[in-house]
Amino acid sequence: MAEPITEADLRERISAFLADHDPAGDRLAFLRARFDAGLAWVHFPVGLGGLAAGRALQPVADDAFAAAGAPDNRPSRIGIGLGMAAPTILVHGTDAQRTRFLRPLWTGEEVWCQLFSEPGAGSDLAGLATRARRDGDGWLLDGQKVWTSMAHVARWAILLARTDPDVPKHAGLTFFVLDMTAPGVEVRPLRQLTGEAEFNEVYLTGVRVPDEHRLGDVGAGWKVAQTTLMNERVSIGGGALPREGGMIGVLARAWREQPAVRTPGMHDTVMRLWVRAEAARLTGLRVRQQLAAGAPGPDGSAVKLSFATLNQQISAAELDLRGDEGLRRDSWAMSRPDDVDFTGRDTGYRYLRAKGNSIEGGTSEVLRNIIAERVLGLPAEPRVDTRVAWKDLPR
């Protein structure tokens, strides 16, 4: 059995890699070589971009490459791939699927999106109606998905569809990888409160998916989706941040830069939000450490819930602090961004965009139910729809 990778070992490997690969050279070639050297996500298996090292060593690798001026893989563009698709493929994918998808996903050559929510199945995801019917050695998909971030630039999608309407709703689902360029896939923009269309609705009409793009067993889609959803909540709410990273850093800088507008009341607000943000950051660190022992648990729901609540309160405090200046927007023009950036825009954008944080990635109401039932052990709400065939449920 190989000796575990230590921090000293990792730093030595990175130094040797940087000696042989110029960070200022071809960006894509550098990223591909970094993946092949096992220095992409170091906790992944050898041959899949990793070294089978401890997850705690990932920041060491990221910081070392950043200090060397190495190009990154634009995580704001490929966050769904990194935080949701990759861990799902790693856990439930075949060797062929892992080999085919993980490398171009990490390098950013192929953008991913998530096709879960539907007009009639958002919070009640298991009630979704998109159908997948057997067609020879593949499947034909028909249905509609909604609130799909980055679908307009995505090459691939992770998708949940109903393969058996004659069993209870959770049991009749199957998980697929969908080619977003396949015939029958139509992406339409959904314009948001911010003026742009980061989200989309996706129509599927007779879209053929080969069976080798099925992830997990037929009928095991809900089990596979749990891996995606738990990782999604940690990815959204528990990302690795330094102290005063994210939205609280924006508010803290605004406070320090504008002493003339400070008041005792605002001082109290900023300090309370700062303390809560730091507590949330440390909680996110603890939840990420749980990943080293396996898949994330329901604690990720608390992290994501805190993220949404804090972002909305912090952005409102920044708006109050900046006064009339905070109401200005750089542009209300319709656009379709190619990345998701919560903090690197103007005050008005941050305030409006934060409103969606309590909906995307699991609504705050659903997350509170998960925390109550699966973290606190409170009695579950009475449910009768889990024992009835999906086709017989009222819709």
Cβ contact 130:204 at 8 Å? yes
User: Looking at the annotation, which residues are catalytic?
Assistant: 232
Measured N-to-C along each axis, helices 95-107 and 27-36 cross at an angle, to the nearest 10 degrees, of 140
Q: Kindly tell me the burial class for residue 131, based on how many C-beta atoms sit within 10 Å of its own C-beta (0-12, 13-18, 19 or more).
A: middle
Q: Which residues pair with 133 in a beta bridge?
A: 140
Distances (CA, A) of 238 to 80, 232, 242, 279: 14, 9, 12, 12
Q: Which amino acid is at 13?
A: R
Three-class SS state of 157: strand
Token pair for 101: 């998808």
Cβ contact 362:301 at 8 Å? yes
Q: Comparing C-alpha atoms, which of 217, 200, 214 is closest to residue 338?
A: 200
**How many angstroms separate the CA atoms of 90 and 22, rounded?**
30
As separate numbers, helices (DSSP H) first and strands (DSSP E) second, the chain gives 12, 8
Token pair for 82: 């990194």
> 156 — phi, psi (to 5°)?
-135, 160
DSSP characters for 296-323? --THHHHHHHHHHHHHHHHHHHHHHHHG
**How many angstroms separate the CA atoms of 144 and 203, rounded?**
5
Q: Which residues pair with 162 in a beta bridge?
A: 131, 173
**How many angstroms separate the CA atoms of 316 and 321, rounded?**
9
Half-sphere exposure of 279 (CA within 13 A, CB side): 9
Half-sphere exposure of 114 (CA within 13 A, CB side): 24
